[in-house]
Amino acid sequence: MNEQPELSLRVASRRLVAEDILAFDLVESNGGLLPAFEPGAHINLHLPGGHIRSYSLYGRPDERDRYRIAVLRAEDGRGGSKVVHDALQNGDVVMTSAPANCFALVEAPMTWLFAGGIGITPLICMAWSMWLRGRRFALHYCARSALKMAFRDELANLPFADSVHLHFNDDVLPLDPASALRESASEAHVYTCGPAGFIDWIEQAARSVGIAGSQLHHERFSGETDSSGPEFEVYLATSKRRLPVRPGETMLEAITRAGISVNAVCEQGVCGACLTPVLDGKPDHRDQVLTDEEREANRLVALCCSRSFSTCLTLDL
Ligand code: FES
Q: Say what the pTM is.
A: 0.79
Which amino acid, one-letter code, is at 94?
V
Residues with Cβ within 8 Å of residue 37, at least 6 apart in sequence: 57, 61, 67, 99, 101
Instruction: State the closest ligand 1 atom to the C-alpha of 287, by its place in the atom list counted from 1.
Output: 4
CA of 70 to the centre of ligand 1 (A): 21
For residue 106, what pLDDT is reported? 93
CA of 89 to the centre of ligand 1 (A): 28
CA of 210 to the centre of ligand 1 (A): 32
Mutation test residue for ligand 1: of 227, 253, 265, 295, the one with most atoms within 8 Å of CB = 265
Mutation test residue for ligand 1: of 52, 97, 304, the one with most atoms within 8 Å of CB = 304
How many other C-beta atoms lie within 10 A of the C-beta of residue 157? 8
- 35-72 pLDDT, tens digit each: 999 999 999 898 887 778 889 999 999 999 999 999 99
CA of 180 to the centre of ligand 1 (A): 34
- 124-155 pLDDT, tens digit each: 999 999 999 999 999 999 998 889 999 999 99
CATH number assigned to the domain with residue range 7-101, chosen from the 4 options 3.40.50.300, 2.40.30.10, 3.20.20.80, 2.40.110.10: 2.40.30.10
**Ligand 1 pocket, CB under 6 A:** 264-267, 269-274, 287, 289, 302, 304
Mean pLDDT score, 93-108: 92
Query: What H or E segment, with its residue span, contains residue 208?
Result: helix 196-208
The one-character DSSP state at 65 is S
CA of 252 to the centre of ligand 1 (A): 9
For residue 144, what pLDDT is reported? 87
When the pLDDT of each residue in the chain is averaged and rounded to a whole number, the result is 90
Q: How confident is the model at residue 170 (pLDDT cuts 50, 70, 90)?
A: low
Q: Which residues pair with 139 in a beta bridge?
A: 113, 164
CA of 55 to the centre of ligand 1 (A): 14
Q: Do domains 110-220 and 232-315 have the same CATH topology?
A: no
Mean pLDDT score, 244-267: 88
Topology of the domain comprising 110-220 = Rossmann fold (3.40.50)
The one-character DSSP state at 148 is G
Which residue's alpha carbon is at the smallest distance from atom 4 of ligand 1?
Answer: 269
Instruction: Spell out the domain ranges in the chain.
Output: 7-101, 110-220, 232-315
For residue 135, what pLDDT is reported? 96
Q: How confident is the model at residue 299 (pLDDT cuts 50, 70, 90)?
A: very high
CATH 3.10.20.30 fits 232-315, yes or no: yes
